[in-house]
């Protein structure tokens, strides 16, 4: 890694520092984390979706040799509800009470009703099978629209209805203003030259990281509670755990293992299982460990999307939208997880509904209902995957209605310039979506494709192209994050220089495989002019690192790396000030450059020190320093912005549909992203690859399926199909250079969080384009060959009859 100039590190395709240990079996995951004398906890989970618990019999399990304790809901009945203020969004909502175990009723299949703690996991699992429960079945509600219908069975006792959140995102802050806007939008739609109306539906699917959740807790009176957790948000988990267990925060330490097998949002909520593990460790005075298995994961977490949207749009002869109205319904599940309660994702998706489009008037409303399913958990394209699908399909439907090219419809409706605030209040800070889209069209070879498509149709082959765009989160500023999730949005980092010129960086967020060790080293190396091999990263330990809100919303590049760079620059100023003092120079810090392992006076290159000499002088020999200056080279920076940041993207899919069986072949997938300054193109490309494949897998393969009683039928990877390498083409990536982000230290934007959101629109539009000769459209997901085949047969029969 030597031989490069310091200013070459940001932007270099540096190989990931993490990969050697990960590919040689030296990774340190949760499964590698153990403490002496640990016990193992296994949950007993409900086999009913909605039922009253008449009794849980744990007597047989308690008799199994090696079992230390068995607990059921009755044993923790007096323990407080986990619905605590620290875990609630600061928006009007109906927050349910929920507990470490279900007490009186179960509200979804797989909900925990008891737990067994034993000397080893095998004993605990055997004993758990001996726990039995008696139930009185209650009506199952498995659909959001059915849940809000008059007379629907109530999920949470004491509630008047099943609505956990409802919001009007347009028209003003008061009911009167909103009603006025609603009437005006209705009138505009009636007066519009053209209208299109359609219901769009996106199924339940989500994220399935290779490594499921895990939690290990150790208790001592001296040190308090020390926990190892797979959470994406150790600092948030620490504060919540302290509040719930009535402990001082100084007595709670959360450590994220060095490595993680993915997260993708699934590990961001505050869950009930870790609380019970910690509770049992305190009660028993022994370390207690829980490792989620794949079936538990598929039954209880990793579930997102699950929305339907009724869209009415008005437009003129040019395709320009005059007004848009949507009524959305989201299936929240039971709402029993902290921070999100299942509704924050669809709420955010509705807020972002306009996406990259300049909607002059709109009426956007959403109802989120609790049902007898597990609570929604976050996944990449947080809440926006369904709304992106709806708005992008709407654009193509406008084009079809007018006989226009969908490219032209988009170009006439794109946000004209930034900064821009949408009618929902979504602030688009910078970038140029039109430029991004045109770069995509060039990469696709759009005109050539249309010629090839026409030739293929003459041969009886059906090709199609579709587009999807995104105005994606690039971190979230505190001004937005505090009301959304009751936590700050700033990035925070500590940079410490040791006497040998080595840099150690500390930040509270975790890594689920994003390459933080590498990108952090590149930023620090670039700032100090040292080798990236001289930079190490410590993260995700609440005792060692500054407070961080977690690895969510693509915060790392724009926010955390800005904090890293800012901290480096403070230390550079200190080093330069001391050098000027030592050499008796009338110089400012800007007169020194940090490059190639040296700190050099720009006006005289003979005046310089090695970076090691410069740091050793301040750390080890802090005498005769400039007046008022302290020893040491440590600094913590907090980076925030006055408003949210976004990153534009545009995707294209090219497909071929076999009309004899409905099979969809994805021929090409192209993603064009506007990322500003790129720290490491190879890592960025990896993030886009992964996000696109996740979106494709969600749209074509994955689906959580429930029977008429609410039993989940997709509790293993045989029935919950995930895309493999054989199912997707190589994702082509184009970087659209429209300048750095003007609001971050390095000009960086975020990438990864929103990438899947552009996929369903691109795929749905591509398949609809391919089958346009038959009038077959994709307005609901997933896209299944069997459904397409049936629609093609209907279209053929109709054409024959006509």
* 232-236, 349-353, 383-387, 482-486: the lowest-pLDDT one: 482-486
The percent of residues in the chain predicted with pLDDT above 70, rounded, is 99
CA distance 253 to 241: 10
Residue 800 has pLDDT above 90, yes or no: no
| Residue that the structure tokens 């008891």 belong to | 114
Selection from 225, 297, 240 nearest residue 264 by Cα: 297
DSSP 5: -
Residue environment code for 702-721, b if the CB has 16+ CB neighbours within 10 A, otherwise e = bbbebeeebbbebbeeeebe
Q: Are 388 and 202 in contact (CB under 8 A)?
A: no
Residue 729 has pLDDT above 70, yes or no: yes
Close Cβ partners of 267 (under 8 Å, ≥ 6 residues apart) = 209, 213, 230, 231, 232, 260, 512
For residues 677-695, average pLDDT: 96
pLDDT band of 776, cuts 50, 70, 90? very high
Mind listing the pLDDT tens digit for each residue in 543-575?
A: 999 999 999 999 999 999 999 999 999 999 999
Start-to-end CA distance of the chain, whole Å, equals 70
What are the tokens at 668? 């090409």
Residue 244 has pLDDT above 90, yes or no: yes
CA distance 98 to 231: 19
DSSP 663: -
Mind listing the pLDDT tens digit for each residue in 622-636?
A: 999 999 999 999 999
* 89-93, 320-324, 637-641: the lowest-pLDDT one: 89-93
Q: Tell me, what's the pLDDT at 10?
A: 96
Beta strand 321-333 with 362-370 is parallel
CA distance 660 to 665: 13
CA distance 117 to 119: 7
SS3 249: helix
Q: Inter-axis angle of helices 759-770 and 384-402, to 10 degrees? A: 30
For residues 163-167, average pLDDT: 97
CA distance 265 to 378: 5
DSSP 654: E
Q: Tell me, what's the pLDDT at 593?
A: 97
The percent of residues in the chain predicted with pLDDT above 90, rounded, is 97
Q: Tell me, what's the pLDDT at 3?
A: 36
Residue 324 has pLDDT above 90, yes or no: yes
Mind listing the pLDDT tens digit for each residue in 495-554?
A: 999 999 999 999 999 999 999 999 999 999 999 999 999 999 999 999 999 999 999 999
CA distance 193 to 189: 9
Q: Are 750 and 689 in contact (CB under 8 A)?
A: no
| Residue that the structure tokens 């050499």 belong to | 583
Q: Tell me, what's the pLDDT at 5?
A: 45
Q: Tell me, what's the pLDDT at 710?
A: 97
The average confidence (pLDDT) of the chain is 96
* Alpha-helical segments (H) within 255-383: 272-284, 294-300, 344-351
CA distance 508 to 511: 10
Q: What is the pTM of this model?
A: 0.96
For residues 156-170, average pLDDT: 97
DSSP 556: I
What are the tokens at 123? 């004993």
Q: Are 380 and 694 in contact (CB under 8 A)?
A: yes
Angle, alpha carbons 574-579-580 (nearest 5°): 100
Q: Tell me, what's the pLDDT at 6?
A: 47
> What phi-psi label fits residue 56: left (phi over 0), alpha (psi between -120 and 50 degrees) or beta?
beta
Q: How many CB atoms lie within 10 A of CB 65?
A: 8
Beta bridge partner(s), residue 322: none
Q: Tell me, what's the pLDDT at 7?
A: 57
For residues 115-131, average pLDDT: 98
Q: Tell me, what's the pLDDT at 8?
A: 83
Q: Tell me, what's the pLDDT at 496?
A: 98
Q: Are 131 and 61 in contact (CB under 8 A)?
A: yes
CA distance 98 to 87: 12
For residues 645-668, average pLDDT: 97
Longest dimension (CA), the chain: 97
């Amino acid at each position: 890694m030597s031989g490069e100039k310091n200013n070459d590190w940001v932007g270099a395709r540096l190989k990931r520092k993490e990969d050697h240990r990960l590919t040689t079996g030296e990774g340190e995951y949760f499964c590698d984390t153990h403490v002496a004398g640990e016990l193992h906890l296994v949950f007993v989970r409900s086999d009913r979706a909605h039922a009253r618990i008449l009794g849980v019999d744990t007597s047989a399990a308690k008799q199994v040799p090696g079992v230390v304790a068995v607990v059921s809901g009755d044993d923790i009945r007096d323990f407080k509800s986990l619905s605590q203020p620290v875990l609630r969004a600061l928006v009007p909502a109906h927050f349910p009470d929920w507990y470490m175990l279900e007490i009186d009723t179960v509200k979804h299949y797989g909900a925990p009703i008891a737990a067994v703690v034993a000397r080893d996991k095998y004993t605990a699992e055997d004993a758990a099978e001996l726990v039995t429960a008696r139930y009185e079945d209650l009506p199952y509600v498995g659909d959001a629209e059915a849940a809000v219908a008059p007379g629907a069975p109530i999920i949470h006792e004491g509630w008047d209805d099943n609505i956990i959140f409802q919001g009007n995102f347009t028209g003003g802050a008061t009911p009167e203003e909103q009603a006025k806007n609603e009437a005006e939008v209705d009138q505009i739609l009636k007066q519009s030259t053209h209208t299109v109306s359609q219901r769009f539906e996106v199924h339940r699917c989500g994220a399935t990281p290779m490594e499921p959740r895990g939690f290990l807790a150790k208790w001592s009176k001296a040190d308090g509670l020390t926990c190892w957790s797979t959470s994406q948000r150790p600092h948030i988990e620490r504060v919540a755990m302290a509040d719930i267990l009535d402990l001082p925060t100084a007595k709670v330490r959360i450590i994220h293992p060095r490595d993680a097998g993915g997260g993708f949002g699934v590990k961001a909520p505050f869950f009930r299982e870790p609380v019970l593990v910690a509770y049992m460790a305190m009660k028993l005075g022994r370390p207690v460990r829980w490792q989620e298995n794949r079936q538990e994961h598929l039954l209880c977490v990793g579930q997102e999307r699950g929305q339907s949207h009724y869209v009415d749009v008005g437009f003129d002869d040019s395709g320009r939208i005059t007004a848009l109205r949507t009524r959305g319904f989201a299936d929240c599940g039971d709402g029993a997880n902290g921070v999100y309660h299942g509704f924050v994702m669809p709420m955010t998706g509705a807020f972002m509904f306009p996406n990259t489009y300049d909607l002059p008037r709109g009426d956007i409303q959403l109802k989120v209902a609790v049902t007898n399913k597990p609570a929604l958990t976050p996944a990449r394209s947080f809440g926006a995957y369904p709304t992106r699908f709806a708005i992008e399909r709407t654009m193509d439907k406008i084009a079809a209605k007018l006989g226009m090219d969908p490219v032209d419809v988009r170009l006439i409706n794109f946000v004209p310039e930034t900064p821009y605030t949408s009618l929902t209040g979504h602030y688009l800070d910078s970038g140029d979506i039109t430029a991004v889209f045109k770069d995509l069209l060039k990469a696709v070879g759009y005109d050539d494709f249309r010629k090839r498509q026409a030739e293929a149709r003459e041969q009886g082959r059906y090709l199609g192209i579709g587009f999807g765009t995104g105005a994606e989160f690039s971190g979230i500023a505190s001004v937005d994050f505090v009301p959304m999730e009751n936590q700050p949005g700033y990035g925070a980092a500590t940079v410490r220089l040791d006497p040998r010129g080595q840099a150690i960086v500390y930040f509270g967020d975790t890594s689920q495989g994003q390459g933080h060790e590498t990108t952090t080293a590149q930023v620090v190396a670039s700032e100090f002019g040292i080798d990236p091999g001289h930079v190490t990263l410590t993260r995700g330990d609440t005792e060692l690192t500054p407070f961080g809100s977690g690895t969510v919303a693509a915060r790392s590049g724009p926010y955390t790396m800005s904090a890293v760079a800012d901290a480096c620059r403070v230390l550079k100023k200190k080093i330069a000030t001391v050098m000027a003092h030592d050499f008796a120079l009338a110089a400012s810090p800007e007169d020194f450059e940090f490059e190639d392992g040296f700190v050099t006076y720009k006006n005289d290159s003979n005046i310089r020190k090695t970076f090691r000499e410069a740091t050793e002088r301040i750390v080890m020999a802090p005498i005769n320093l400039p007046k008022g200056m302290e020893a040491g080279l440590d600094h913590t920076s907090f980076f925030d912005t006055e408003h949210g940041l976004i990153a534009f993207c545009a995707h294209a899919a090219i497909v071929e549909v076999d009309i004899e069986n409905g099979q969809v072949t994805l021929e090409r997938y192209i993603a064009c992203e506007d990322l500003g300054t790129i720290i490491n193109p190879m890592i960025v490309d990896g993030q886009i690859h992964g996000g696109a494949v996740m979106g494709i897998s969600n749209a074509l393969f994955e689906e959580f399926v429930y029977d008429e009683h609410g039993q989940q039928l997709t509790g293993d990877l045989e029935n919950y199909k995930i895309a493999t390498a054989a199912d997707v083409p190589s994702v082509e990536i184009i970087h659209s250079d429209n300048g750095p982000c003007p609001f971050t230290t390095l000009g960086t934007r975020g990438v990864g969080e929103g990438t899947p959101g552009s996929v369903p629109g691109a795929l749905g539009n591509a398949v609809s384009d391919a089958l346009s000769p038959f009038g077959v459209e994709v307005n609901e997901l997933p896209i299944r060959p069997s459904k397409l085949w049936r629609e093609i047969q209907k279209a053929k029969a109709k054409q024959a009859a006509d």
